[in-house]
Structure 1
């Protein structure tokens, strides 16, 4: 491992190219193991009243490097802006071998403690540079005073090639008047609703404040164009977009603040956290830190939702279990095989929970849209809420009073009736065990589709929709035969035969998902 510091560009004296003990600090940190963090020796700057100073730090990380490498920067008084750029090499690797990938962020003088107040921004691997000052900051970073003390630039070597990773970090401090203060404009917690009604919303969206390419204004416009009533802002690992959503919300669009927490053992959505609230992601499942941050979300009245649990990419597959979760994202973007796996696993957990009389975990679906051509609202949640407010929408999702739609062009109504009683999605119908229960699904917008009724015994009814795309499917059962019933509406096969195919393979007897409901529970009276 090597490090070096070059001469400043403007003013000040160059620090020694390799401070005594620097290599020992690095080696000691690396010896802690792959999950550990390592802190380098500090980089110092001379005090000044104007101009700027730059230091350049280079180094090498071997395969098996810690998850996070902290570069301390001693910030003197009088700094109005800290600017950082970085790069790393990308040597050729054999097919199937991960190449180099490195994230970056920064913590201020308040420290790097897990969940602490020092967080000032994260851009992952999406940007090669950022700047922070009192009045403004690069998207993904938080504006605010640049106070004197020890700041930390954080490298996150996400993947390291067999050859290791050579990195270069350039830190520039600019001196002078700090300028005006940034004033956030958070979105309102209420929009103009229709009272108790079904509301459509996408709860997993990204902007330029993380790795998306859409501006917040473009996301809001896309949500309106998709016929959505609400969205949740879930940029990766940062709340920096929260303070710009205010003017973009309105009577017709509720915007809820959130975060996608991207750990090395899976991603999860923190939905409905307080404006400006931040959730830490610097832990693995073996660290036992996840429950602490799940509790933080729950204290704010928000939801914890594991995201795309079967995503095949590195660090995306869910490893934390579901005890702290309020729902699970079983459908993420256009329908694929990992969504099939997520729905199958969710259904197995649902059957087990109902069988043992335990609380069950609702299903959600979201677009996870980052940029064009990814479609905002494909899919989205249709939730029964008392009104179009943050609290009411979250309550409906938490209770499972929701279904998932591929687009606003799909309509659905799902009920079960028996003994003069009626229950809808996410509700419970209590009847004598042998009493007839009539299940009814009304669908529109899925030409030639397939309706499936699925219980804890598996699929027990299937029928095709007409070419018009609208129709009603009915089925009779009893509470002694089915502990719950849920509905799926599938597109036809790719070859066009009704209800018989899939763009993912001709071996499946139906096509990709068009709509998916949470269950109606059937309970035996007495």
Structure 2
């Protein structure tokens, strides 16, 4: 089935971001009727080929007319990768599927997404390929979704094969979502990594692997954040325990940046099929909060295509300023975040965006817990942890070996911790105290809305004090840095970064 004519007739569809091809018809494939909807037990296959030109829509929908009596739907696909000149983008195409409930943005029809990590998948009532949602294959119009991420100047030749297996459907399996609380230690500092990938998207680690590595890293909590799918949620329960809280979430991977939905209700899915110009982000940020979660732009200056954040920060609950091993894009994000703090100081309305850090670990040698966010929470439970992150009662550590405390005190016993406010007059003396450990040769940096005010080696005692006033510093935040590399014009890599302490009466 050649789709060239369909593309010619639908040339205008690319401008709207969606192109729909002619349907794949399985007429005559229905097996004998039965009370349970079973069929004949045979397999029926259709293959579609076509060509996508450069400038094609973000998403190309291939309708599949699914008859009654289908036990399983399986899809495989491929595309050509012609040579292109150096510096020119070649072919890359993602894939996923929506069921008979439709492809409406944010609708109920989502049944899975694997991006470019897989060339085939299958869905049945009792099981599905990781990244896809198990459940009955109901009759109606399903849609295989091609996502031509980049298209070479020659265009992209593609092939999609759909196989329907007729027969009695299996019994669906009940989901095992993780509990939203663990015993914990009461009000305390809890360590977590909220940006992690597994075989349910483009990672190479199983859920068993992930849980084991989180425990080995000394983490108290993690967040499941596979790309554009909630497929892992239903299988996370057995991997949680009294020693590890597992939150359910998603990395929402749009064409204009990625963001984390952290701490969603189990089974909640967040759509990603929009750009900044589509004015859809705010809608899905609200959905995340209704589902109990928070919104965190990820690696805003990421180096991969379409990973740079372009939706702004007005509707963010925090920002990931440190992603994996410390690199120049983290340094750029840190500067941007510091500018956001200065803007908050100017407004004086008490609203500011906290920072957090996560590993974004996919596979070996990525290190789970490098970095990790250390959160002051009332308990080891979803609500308390997210409240702590949202309030900025947190700091970022390179590993569980790094220790830090950061406080500010006033002349009359006033006291504030990370994320808090020290209510003193503009000229009252303020003492800032940093206590650190676990970073050989650490350099302490103290920064305010004016910039870096101090950069000194951490004393052997592990304690450093600095004095200022609220008239000189709207806020103070602290960093522990590794020693500077010889000849470098930049500070050493980060070992710890705190959220600010705000100074002065609001």
| TM-score range for the pair, normalised by the shorter chain length | over 0.9
| 1:455 equivalent in alignment to 2:471 | no
Q: For residues 320-359 of structure 1, what are the structure 2 equivalents within 5 Å?
A: 320-358=311-349, 359=351
Alignment partner, residue 434 of structure 2: 441
Task: Give the match's secondary structure for 1:272.
Answer: strand
Q: Quick check: 1:30–1:36 contact (8 Å CA) kept in 2?
A: no
- Cross-structure match for 2:24: 43
Give the drift of 1:33: 3.3
Would the aligned equivalents of 2:4 and 2:51 in 1 still touch at CA under 8 Å?
A: no
Is 1:235 the counterpart of 2:226? The answer is yes
Query: Mind listing any 5+ residue stretches in structure 2 that lack a counterpart?
Result: 32-39
Aligned length: 494
2:292 and 2:123 mapped to 1: Cα distance?
Answer: 31
The structural deviation recorded for 1:494 is: 3.1
For 1:71, the equivalent position in structure 2 comes to: 62
Match in the other structure for 2:92 = 101
Say whether the 8 Å CA contact 1:29–1:36 is kept in structure 2: no
Deviation of residue 35 (structure 1)? 4.9
Does residue 399 (structure 1) correspond to residue 391 (structure 2)? The answer is yes
Paired residue for 1:30, among 11, 21, 37? 11
Pair 1:512-2:504 in alignment: no
Contact 2:227 2:251 in 1 (8 A): yes
The worse-fitting range, judged by mean Cα deviation, of 33-42 and 309-318 is 33-42
Deviations 1:120-146 (A, max 9, x none): 000000000000000000000000000
Cα distance in structure 1, aligned partners of 2:445 and 2:260:
29
Within the alignment, does 1:366 sit opposite 2:347 as a pair? Answer: no
State how 1:110-259 maps to structure 2 within 5 Å.
Answer: 110-259=101-250
Point out where structure 1 has 5 or more consecutive residues left out of the alignment.
5-17, 496-500
TM-score by length of 1: 0.92
Q: In structure 2, which of residues 349, 367, 372 is the aligned counterpart of residue 380 of structure 1? A: 372
* Mapped contact 1:201–1:377 kept (Cα < 8 A): yes
Q: Deviations over 1:253-304 (max 9, x none)?
A: 0000000000000001011111001000000111111111000011122100
> 1: distance between equivalents of 2:15 and 2:257?
17
Does the 8 Å CA contact 2:268/2:291 hold for their aligned counterparts? no
In 2, the alpha carbon distance for the partners of 1:109 and 1:405 equals 46
| 1:283 lines up with 2:265 in the alignment | no
Aligned-residue Cα RMSD (Å) equals 1.2
Report the CA distance shift for 1:430/1:328 in structure 2 as closer, same or farther (over 3 A). same
SS of the equivalent of 1:350 reads helix
Offset of 1:465 from its aligned partner?
2.5
Query: Is the 8 Å Cα contact of residues 14 and 58 (structure 2) preserved in structure 1?
Result: no
C-alpha contact (below 8 Å) 2:323/2:358 kept by paired residues: yes
Structure 2 residue 420 is matched with structure 1 residue 427: yes
What is the CA deviation profile of residues 468-521 of structure 1, one whole-angstrom value per residue up to 9, with x for unaligned ones? 7x61111000011100000011001234xxxxx7xxxx222x310000000000
The superposition leaves residues 416-469 of structure 1 with CA deviations (integer Å, 9 ceiling, x where unpaired) of 000211100000001011111000000001111110000001111121025x7x
